[in-house]
């Protein structure tokens, strides 16, 4: 009976430990504080389709939040990341030229 009580207490203390992912955000090589920075479009981004941007020295797949076409050479804001795709939004200055 004593062994059963010791095991019960040991298992009870294990259930109280929080998993590591609950206390620390995952790290994917990109700092989440860096979002809302700028990237340069290298391959056209059409509505609902992926294009390519240059962000912090690397090429990333990118998709636009808005239903607009973004031409190569334009600057965009990086809003967030979904898996390996950056979600971007055109800078308002790009619309002033149209």
In a domain, 12, yes or no: no
Burial class (CB in 10 A: 0-12, 13-18, 19+), 23: exposed
* Confidence (pLDDT) at 65: 87
Taking only the tens place, the pLDDT of each residue in 39-67 is 999 999 999 899 999 998 899 999 998 88
> In 3-state terms, what secondary structure has residue 9?
helix
In a domain, 5, yes or no: no
| CATH number of the structural domain spanning residue 61 | 2.40.50.140
In a domain, 3, yes or no: no
Q: Would you mind telling me the total number of residues written for the chain in this entry? A: 98
Host domain of residue 66: 26-96
What's the pTM?
Answer: 0.61
In a domain, 76, yes or no: yes
* Confidence (pLDDT) at 29: 52
Q: What average pLDDT does the segment 83-96 reach?
A: 78
In a domain, 81, yes or no: yes
**Residue 48, φ and ψ in degrees, nearest 5:** 80, 0
In a domain, 55, yes or no: yes
**Across all residues in the chain, what is the average pLDDT?**
76
* Confidence (pLDDT) at 27: 47
The confidence band for 98, taking pLDDT boundaries of 50, 70 and 90, is very low
Q: How many domains does the chain have?
A: 1
In a domain, 18, yes or no: no
């Amino acid at each position: 009976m004593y062994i059963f009580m010791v095991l019960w207490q040991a298992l009870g203390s294990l259930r109280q430990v929080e998993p590591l992912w609950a206390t620390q955000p995952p790290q994917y090589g990109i700092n989440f504080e860096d979002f809302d920075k700028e990237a340069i479009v290298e391959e056209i981004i059409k509505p609902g389709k992926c294009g390519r941007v240059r962000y912090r020295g690397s090429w990333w797949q990118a998709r636009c939040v808005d239903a607009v076409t973004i031409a190569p050479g334009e600057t965009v804001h990086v809003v967030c990341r979904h898996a390996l795709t950056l979600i971007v939004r055109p800078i308002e200055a790009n619309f002033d030229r149209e």
